Chain A
Amino acid sequence: MPGIKSASGSEPHAAGSNVSGRIGRESRIVLSVEHVSFAYDTVPVLEDIDLKIANGEFISVLGPSGCGKTSLLRLLAGLEKPVAGKIIHDGRVVSGPDPSRGVVFQDYSLFPWLNLQDNLSIAIEKSRKGLAKSARNRIAEEYLDLVGLPGVGTKHPYEVSGGMRQRAAIARTLALGSPVLLMDEPFGALDPVNRVRLQDLLLQLCYSTTDRRTVVFVTHDVEEALFMGDRVIVLGTNPGRIMSELTVPFDAKRNRHDFFQSKVFHELEAEIAALYHEDIQRQLEAASVVLGEGASI
């Protein structure tokens, strides 16, 4: 796998730094968003986003619907082009989609006409060129095993549940060997039980593999953002902008139950609630100003 070694060089679990969670301070920046603005036609979506993401970091991007978090992810993937500013991945300006930045979409990462094995096989074909079909299929089965889908390779996406599809989508992105994983509310359409299971699976995959990937995880769920991320980017609306960046101390996140009971979690949750309250206030004021002007004409 064309993975990237943890720059800290230490055991993932031993990274004690509270500054950036699982990774050491010396980690190099893999993704850098520099003063990026984005608009659909003339409607501004994102304004002056500035963000540095270190190698191996797990970033949660949190925001309500319409804040442009999906647009930010699509920009990172190269599926959209910024109106202003630029995004740099490993020293190169992002100009289009690339297998080095794998994406898991909410519910459509797989081709419906291919079975799960073939969906993965396509990715393996790209990451490891020149492999025979049988070898690719074997590797595909290994990845399906890894995400808890043993023996379902011959099933088609329509034949399996949403949770299984998302597992397969994660497996495909892993098989693609992308050092950067971009996830757009990947568990947003799942029931709570499957959601928890897949959160744990994703964290487990991110912790345990030696070739740790950098993850940008978009969600509108505060708990999910805090539980998953080393760092939580809180986006405000109209236009989308970074309101705050919160660092989640890694030590607190040993255990789901403990984490949600912890003081750290409640403090961060309250901070986010305050941020959104402020954002809503600001918008209401802006709206009343506009209304006032309109009334005076």
Chain B
Amino acid sequence: MTQKKSRPAKPEFGIKGFEGILFIIAIALCWQLTTSFIPLNNPKLYPSPAVTFRALVDSLPELLKGTWSSFLILVPGYFLAVVLGSVWGIIVGTVGWLHRAFDPFAKVAAPIPPTVYIPYAIALMPTFRISAILVVFIGAFWPVFVNTAAGASAVPVRYRDNAGILGFGRIEYMRRVVFPATLPNIFSGMAVGLALSFILLTVAELFGANDGLGKFVQYYADYADYPRMVAGILYTGVVTFFSMALLDLLKRRVLFWVR
């Protein structure tokens, strides 16, 4: 009777990872070959991998400083969006009349591309950092909220039944049943929200930052230093990738019970 159901491990760095690495190597090779053999009027516009890599190493201190500055915007904005989006989503998804009241507004407000708020946020807020945090917050809030509310309003009847039998009150039901039952949805919203946060962060920085990842790319584009600019793009990609991977790791740890 004692049977252990060991879940099949997802192939993370197995064949799949190997193929992925192979593809990246192929891309790099193509890049190298095209830069060596295609004559360009302005070779500076399309730097070779080696040149770009040198530019990356040279500007690493500047990029790290920019990362720090970007994260001072991204982390507070995203964190606030996750907390408020999931809490409000659980409440709205659970309380019938609130859902009816808030849903029409959400349907109108959620699809507005958050980038359109950037100029107004910059005009409205005292500093660039606060306005950028606000924009990141708005951008990440909606996906988190929409996913959470959808999950909370569709909590399986069986959980509701069990909560009733255990005598849970409304608050206890939300905290101990709706919240864990909705966690898979919250994480989906968080993934979309994080990707959007990076987009909004870099776009906002193009507008008015003194520092940061988006600013770095913008700055060297203005000075036509394309090796550094391409290095900045690659570096931003790597940072985004690791942020998403970190979120995925967290998701796997928290959602261990989801089969």
Give A contacts to B, CB under 8 Å: 77-79, 96-99, 101-103, 105, 108-113, 122-123, 126, 152, 156-161, 163-164, 176, 194
Contact = CB atoms under 8 A, between A and B. Distances in A.
A108 B164 contact: no
B1 interface: yes
Contacts of B2: 152, 160-161, 164
Interface stretch (B67-75, B126-134, B138-146, B154-162): B154-162
B109 to A, nearest CB: 32
Interface of B: 1-5, 7, 158-159, 161-162, 164-167, 176-177, 180-181, 183, 256-259
B257 A156 contact: yes
B180 A97 contact: no
B165 A97 contact: yes
Given A111-B177, A111-B180, A101 B162 contact: no
Contact of B166 (A105, A122, A158): A122
Given A97-B164, A176-B166, 7 more contacts: A77-B161, A97-B165, A98-B164, A103-B165, A111-B159, A122-B176, A194-B1
A103 B161 contact: yes
Nearest to B7: A158
Contacts of B180: 111, 113
Contacts of A77: 161, 164-165
A105 B161 contact: yes
B1 A113 contact: no
Contacts of B4: 159
A197 B188 CA distance: 42
A99 B167 contact: yes
A92 B9 CA distance: 52
A158 B5 contact: yes
A108 B5 contact: no
Contact of B164 (A78, A110, A158, A163): A78
Contacts of B176: 122
A97 B1 contact: no
A152 B180 CA distance: 22
B6 to A, nearest CB: 9
A123 B176 CA distance: 13
Contact of B259 (A79, A99, A158): A158
